[in-house]
Structure 1
């Protein structure tokens, strides 16, 4: 059986997205179909549309999603029909060298569905991050489905699928923020604010938010920033040192991915501090630092893959904390929209007018 649903498609580089009929096949071995309830509009989807990730057009966009499993293929035992899930784009294989050494969060051979969803004329679609969830149904590998408490609304829970998990994990997992430590987060969009929320949850007592827009800095305070710095008006490195007794922070997180921002994060940390890059850089940019500074400051420089998360561990934990009122997922949701509104949501995202627009599939 083939299912017909509506989905948001990017047909060519830079062209406005279109809502089209998508054909979703029955799940094969190891696969599952998820009826999508809500899906966040992430900057990664815009990067796909702009051709900044690959040129495998047409793309079925959307990946920050929650919904209900409606069908499973042969051999699937980890999820069942009726399970409420958040989708993830790193379904671990269990067999690669990272998995076998007990570090599945670094899995080097993650799974996606083997079959392709298509347009009505048979053209194969490339699903964004192996998910493609701006659609009524999507086909994924069963390992991409993470069961969570159904008490969490899909509009909030789905955001764990990418940006919120990346930011929170950059602080809690990659940066390993500890109680009483100081943290600076550069860039206060969805990922940066999630890093701030994660740092607060981990027990950081000084959390400095850095951005060039006062509106975003105000958002950052809502997520737990204790201090803010507008880097258009003030040197952020000097400001951060002034707030930390002249030393710098224990953990500096670059949620932008720009060489200048990374350099600021590098110099804003204390000796033996940790620098974390979670913002995605453009493929052609380079970072240059004096080798003696890299050596002399000690500590660690880390990149953060998906917040170094293990979805089966981290998604349910963060949902439970959300339901306890300790992790503010609802605060990331700026507006609920329909499939027809995704192109406008991209414009809002570029202008920094909303943390997350969320597509609700019954709209």
Structure 2
């Protein structure tokens, strides 16, 4: 029998979200229904509400989630009812050219559930990032469920489903930060702070946090930044170079997604250093750089998709580090809220008052 539950829906561009009755079908072949226990409020959900992703309204928002598998469809072997899982939005296919070359974190054919969740009148919903987790139960592809240690609290485990994984992965997987490296992170929201945490975990000797907000720079120090730069009052490139012996950082992670901050990242890195773009730009943005500088400075200019993570590999490992007290995920949770409080959480996020609000169901 289909499930009748409550979920947070964005009906139109810029409109306040509403709590609606949603019909969740029984899982079909390759699908799973998950009882959501907690879901972080991510900027991407706000982008969906504002029409910044696409115009396939109405959207079922929420995607940074953890919960328990309720039921699975035919042919599902990865998970079983009762498993505690983190939801991911890049369920690898195993068959595309990236997967067959042993690089499944670049999978070019990730998949979602085939069936649609709907409103009571039958209107199909577009789930955010193929998940839709501001809801009591959600339907996903079974490959979007990653089984982890059930002793981890859902309020922190779910954060690995998007922003925290993106930041940690940008530092470790994409940027290749290792012991002794100098690292600069531009933009100290949730993703940037996760990149700082990842750089610290990898053994970076110097971690420079850059932002326009002193409160966020304070948060960055809590996550392991050794130096901070307020770009409203200091020249980012000059200051990063001064802090690194005049050379620039070995790895610069741009967690804003704007041309001006990308240029800062490009020129704040050392010769043959690495720039990692993990901030998400809007479709209208363009970048202009002297080609001679791109050639002459060498190194690598990389984009980080979801922290270049492989959920089946990375989620359990990071949860284990959390359980060992080596990865402070609790610090990301600014507040826990109810499912009816998402609109207020968006307002707090816009004002920069929270790192992460987490809906607990």
Task: Name the residue aligned to 1:320.
Answer: 320
Task: Name the residue aligned to 1:172.
Answer: 172
5+ residue gaps, structure 2, are none
Q: Quick one: distance in 2 between partners of 1:233 and 1:323?
A: 39
Q: Quick one: distance in 1 between partners of 2:77 and 2:150?
A: 19
Q: Quick one: distance in 2 between partners of 1:350 and 1:249?
A: 30
Q: Secondary structure at the match of 1:138?
A: strand
Task: Name the residue aligned to 2:258.
Answer: 258
Q: Secondary structure at the match of 1:38?
A: strand
Whether 1:339 aligns to 2:339 is yes
Q: 1:111 offset after TM fit, Å?
A: 1.1
Task: Name the residue aligned to 1:249.
Answer: 249
Whether 1:50 aligns to 2:61 is no
RMSD: 0.4
Q: How does 1:162-311 map to 2 (within 5 A)?
A: 162-311=162-311
Task: Name the residue aligned to 1:35.
Answer: 35
Task: Name the residue aligned to 2:352.
Answer: 352
Q: Secondary structure at the match of 2:334?
A: strand
Q: Quick one: distance in 2 between partners of 1:240 and 1:192?
A: 16
Q: Quick one: distance in 2 between partners of 1:285 and 1:317?
A: 36
Q: Quick one: distance in 2 between partners of 1:257 and 1:324?
A: 33
Q: TM-score scaled to structure 1, two decimals?
A: 0.99
Q: TM-score scaled to structure 2, two decimals?
A: 1.00
Q: Quick one: distance in 2 between partners of 1:251 and 1:178?
A: 10
Q: How does 1:77-116 map to 2 (within 5 A)?
A: 77-116=77-116
Q: Quick one: distance in 1 between partners of 2:233 and 2:282?
A: 26
Q: 1:80 offset after TM fit, Å?
A: 0.3
Task: Name the residue aligned to 1:121.
Answer: 121
Q: Quick one: distance in 1 between partners of 2:145 and 2:314?
A: 13
5+ residue gaps, structure 1, are none
Task: Name the residue aligned to 2:64.
Answer: 64
Q: 1:339 offset after TM fit, Å?
A: 1.1
Q: Secondary structure at the match of 1:200?
A: helix
Q: Quick one: distance in 2 between partners of 1:234 and 1:119?
A: 51
Structure 1 runs, 4 residues or longer, greater than 4 Å off: none
How many residue pairs match? The answer is 361
